[in-house]
Amino acid sequence: MRARRQRFKLLALIAIFAIPVITAWVMVEWRIGIPDQRTAHGELAPQVPPLAHWPLAEPRQALEAGDWILAFDCSIDCDVHADQWWRLHRAMGREAPRISRLRIGGHGPALPGESLAQWAKVPEWQSPGRVWLLDPRGDAVLTYTSGVEPRDVLDDVNHLLRMNPDTRAAPEFEVSNR
């Protein structure tokens, strides 16, 4: 009787570890319970070079090192687009300092927190009104067409910032060996 009870305990212990592995294998193999929807509203942009290789005539002043960059082409309806992305930047609340805006093209003064640049030569991957979201290294993460809803961009930016915590803002967690 005691040996039977010990075997039952052993089988129960094996089942506790084996059932999740078998369930995960079934989910992956037969695509059961895995969501198919997209989470990003923008498109991945592997053909867009890093920001350092963009053909810009003017230097990118006031771009903070380590910031995410919201770059937008301002060749059409510049006042509307610049204001729209400024409002999105303001809507980010406490996360706003982690984002820099780069307006490429257009005329007029920069809005608060915005850097200005001009295309030296228009690249083939650019289209009027396009928006790019660049990571802190300057690599294009997502790109959006000119008719994108700012709410969709805000959702993507908030998701990316949540998934990538700011490494610059935690000096109290640094450990020193003194």
Q: What is the CATH number of the domain that holds 121?
A: 3.40.30.10
Number of domains in the chain: 2
87 CB contacts (<8 Å, ≥6 apart)? 150
pLDDT of 177 strictly over 70: no
Q: Residues 70-85: what's their mean pLDDT?
A: 89
Lowest-confidence region among 18-27, 63-72, 77-86 = 63-72
pLDDT score of 175: 55
8 and 50 assigned to the same domain = no
Grade residue 176 by pLDDT with cuts at 50, 70 and 90: low
Q: Is 138 in the same domain as 50?
A: yes
Q: Write down the pLDDT at residue 143.
A: 92
pLDDT of residue 36: 64
pLDDT at 168 over 70: no
Q: Confirm whether 169 is domain-assigned.
A: no
> What would the two tokens of residue 73 be?
């082409």
**DSSP letters spanning 54-110:** S-BSS--TTPPTT-EEEEEE-SSSHHHHHHHHHHHHHHTGGGGGGEEEEEES--SPP
| In a domain? residue 178 | no
55 & 125 share domain: yes
pLDDT band, very low/low/confident/very high, at 174 (cuts 50, 70, 90) = low
**Is 133 within 8 Å of 40 (Cβ atoms)?**
no
pLDDT recorded at residue 28: 85
Residue 112: what pLDDT?
A: 86
| Residues 89 and 132 placed together within one structural domain of the fold | yes
% of the chain with per-residue pLDDT over 70: 87
Is the domain of 32 the same as that of 96?
Answer: no
Tens-place pLDDT, residues 88-146: 999 988 888 889 899 998 888 888 888 888 888 889 888 888 999 999 888 999 999 88
pLDDT of residue 23: 92
Segments forming the whole domain that contains residue 32: 1-36
The percentage of the chain sitting over the pLDDT mark of 90, rounded to a whole number, equals 33
